[in-house]
Structure 1
Amino acid sequence: MKKLSFILAPFTIIYGVIVATRNLLFDLKILPNIMPQIPSIGIGNLNVGGTGKSVLVDYLITYFKQKKTPFVISRGYKRKTRGVIIANDKSSALTIGDEPYQFFSKHKIGVIVCENRKDGLNILMQKNLKPDVIIFDDLMQHRYVTPHCLVITTSFNQIFFDDHLLPLGRLREHTTQVKRANIILVTKCPNDISLKDQLQIKHRINPQSYQKIFFTKLVYGKDIINKKNKKSLTKLKFPFLLITGIANSDHLVSFLKSKSLNFEHLKYSNHHNFGLSDTKKIKQKMQSQIVLTTEKDFGRLEPFFNSNELFYLPIEMRFFTKKKEDEFILFLKKNIRIV
């Protein structure tokens, strides 16, 4: 391990210089950026994947669509298309990416995917779509757009201050860039997180006067579902096959094991585009079993299975108290200047 660290260290230094120089150019306004005229929220992270960004986006959509018209602009990572695309009824996980497809199909809201978020913003304005709030997914490294409020997510088990820059660690940005955030969300916390742990984390992050830190947990549904059927999770008497293509499946696996469920886990890389060879292998293993997956993976696997075979386990982000949730919403609205 020490030998590997020694080999990777020079590349980490080079990467750090490149990233620091790029950020400096934006800070000095040498590289241009714009702030949308419409209230906007940027979701991002310092680490590579697995920090709960998509669950947060889903939470924000669910909240705002009660009384407002939210709109999501995303890169559409690992889609098979290029350029700016407005999601429509013919869209799929392949054409707009798994996460944007999940947001569009689940919530029936406006979604634009584009490599350059600035281009997506321009199209939104040209089409005169007029949402009440724009949610930019995975915006931390895309500095050509500055949102009214930047929310950074960091997982409880992999908080950014204990990590290193790529390729030695999993940081895409230096930890000093946390200064750009208005809100720091510590996600995937254990249900029994203590006040002492929270205070220690806050102390190490050392937020500025304009920043607030909140703690959240993941809550799984009681039923596994698809577009036509649902089954009680605790009543799964037979072994099933768990398929994941997410950055970190440990939390999900631990939850299922805590329910004493009998399953085999096939783990794929994050945003893996499933093909015929993958599904052939899966079907050979499943035999008469059902296949359980994540909501994000469901959109990529759905074309290969019927409604009796493939299910996903819903998941949502929750705060530990209603008071903290209200405080989060109030602070968020204050930053984006929306009532």
Structure 2
Amino acid sequence: MKFIRIILFPITPIYFIVTWLRNWLYDVNVFESRTYETPLICVGNLSTGGTGKTPLIEYLIRLLQNNNRVATLSRGYKRNTDGFVLANKDATVQTIGDEPYQFYKKFDNIHVAVDSNRQNGIEQLLKLKDQTNVILLDDAYQHRKVSAGLNILLTAYDKPYYLDFVLPTGNLREPKSGRKRADIILVTKCKSNITEADKAVIKQNLKLKSHQKVFFSFITYAQEVIGFNSNLNVADLPKFTLVTGIANADPLVDYLVQKGLKFDHIEYPDHHNFRVSEIEMLSKKELLITTEKDFVRLSANKRLSHNLYYLPIETKIENEEEFNALIKAFVFKRSLI
């Protein structure tokens, strides 16, 4: 893979120019971005993935759902449907995608929708009889046709955007200058022993603008893994097979190693659609541990009901009260317009 990226290096300047020019045309209003009175919170990143968008969307749902009618709007990556789809009792991973389906199964009192056309998706949500008053735009940082009122940019502690390059040599979807559009920059997946000196260096490298706030977050893992019919204590797990199909499994692997657990790791690409032969192979394993997103895709296969468990995670934000206050203040202020 690294060799291929080196070979493709001559394409990198072209990609840089095209994406930079596109952003500039939006910035100077040659290309139009549509705004909405309804509060829109965009959660995204500059990289191709692995920054923890899904746990943050869930964090925001928990923060806002008691006092607002919340909706999530995603593209619905790798779904087999087209256009706008609102999740209902007939929804599956195939019809709305794995991450939206995860939101739908976990939260009863929100709308979950998918549409690659974010403008249309927003307009369809606003037409609902049970009208939405906060929309969380999942992975929409590069979708400039919609101008969100609040942009949250995520960057991973171990793979920050300022040490990366644009595609295809690196993993950035657009030049680093795109960071300027963010209102909040969240450094995710930080180590538990991060120091104030470490944070100061990161802040300096982020090149923050005067209007931008920066926060640091951590992954917390549950004490039990959850299966179809039972839970198991993480500390007591026998040797198992870890199965991941996410953009960056390193934090999870590091955590399990630190816990002193014994396991083999089978790693697939992000959003991997498991083939029949792969399910057959996995069904013969004694114990499978996976992520919640992978469990959502794998759980449709009843052959794994005897050995498949997932480890829940949550995002914990340092200076949580300040972060929460910023989010709630934005929603409240926009609701008054």
Q: Judge same fold: TM > 0.5, yes or no.
A: yes
The alpha carbon displacement at 1:136 in A equals 0.3
Q: Distance in 1 between matches of 2:330 and 2:311?
A: 33
Report how many aligned residue pairs link the two structures. Answer: 332
Mapping of residues 27-106 of structure 1, within 5 Å: 27-106=27-106
For residues 32 and 228 of structure 2, the distance between their equivalents in structure 1, rounded to whole angstroms, comes to 44
State which drifts further: 3-12 or 271-280: 3-12
Question: What's the counterpart of residue 283 of structure 2?
Answer: 283
1:145–1:128 distance in 2 versus 1, CA, 3 Å: farther
Partner of 1:167: 168
- 1:203 equivalenced with 2:204 (yes/no): yes
Q: Output the amino acid matched with 2:316.
A: R
Picking from 329, 332, 336, the partner of 1:334 is 329
Distance in 2 separating the partners of 1:3 and 1:308: 41
Which one-letter code corresponds to 1:308 in the other structure? H
Aligned to 2:314: 316
Unpaired runs of 5+ residues, structure 1, are: none
- Equivalent position amino acid for 1:112 in 2: A
Equivalents in 2 of 1:302, 1:254: separation in Å? 25
Quick one: distance in 2 between partners of 1:248 and 1:275? 21
TM-score, with length taken from structure 2: 0.94
Counterparts in 2 of 1:7 and 1:63: CA distance versus 1, 3 Å: same
Q: In structure 2, how many angstroms separate the alpha carbons of the residues matched to 1:46 and 1:247?
A: 14
Aligned-residue offset at 1:272: 0.5
For residues 1-339 of structure 1, what are the structure 2 equivalents within 5 Å?
7-108=7-108, 109-236=110-237, 238-284=238-284, 286=285, 289-305=286-302, 306-320=304-318, 324-336=319-331, 337=333
Q: Which residue identity is paired with 2:329? A: K
Query: Does the Cα contact within 8 Å between 1:8 and 1:167 map onto a contact in 2?
Result: yes
Separation of aligned partners in 1, 2:214 and 2:73: 25
Q: Tell me, what secondary structure is at the counterpart of 2:299?
A: helix
Q: Work out whether residues 57 and 135 of structure 1, in 8 Å CA contact, stay in contact via their aligned partners in 2.
A: yes
Contact conserved, 2:228 with 2:308, CA < 8 A, in 1?
no
Q: Secondary structure at the match of 2:89?
A: coil
**Sequence identity, in percent?**
39
Note the C-alpha offset of 1:21.
1.6
Cα displacement (A) at 1:330: 1.5
Provide the rounded CA distance (Å) in 2 between the counterparts of 1:2 and 1:110. 41
Task: Assess, with a 3 A threshold, how the Cα gap between structure 1 residues 33 and 218 changes in structure 2: closer, same or farther.
Answer: same
Contact 1:53/1:137, CA 8 A, preserved across alignment? yes
Write the distance in 1 (CA, Å) between the matches of 2:207 and 2:3. 33
Distance 1:5 1:301 in 2: 31
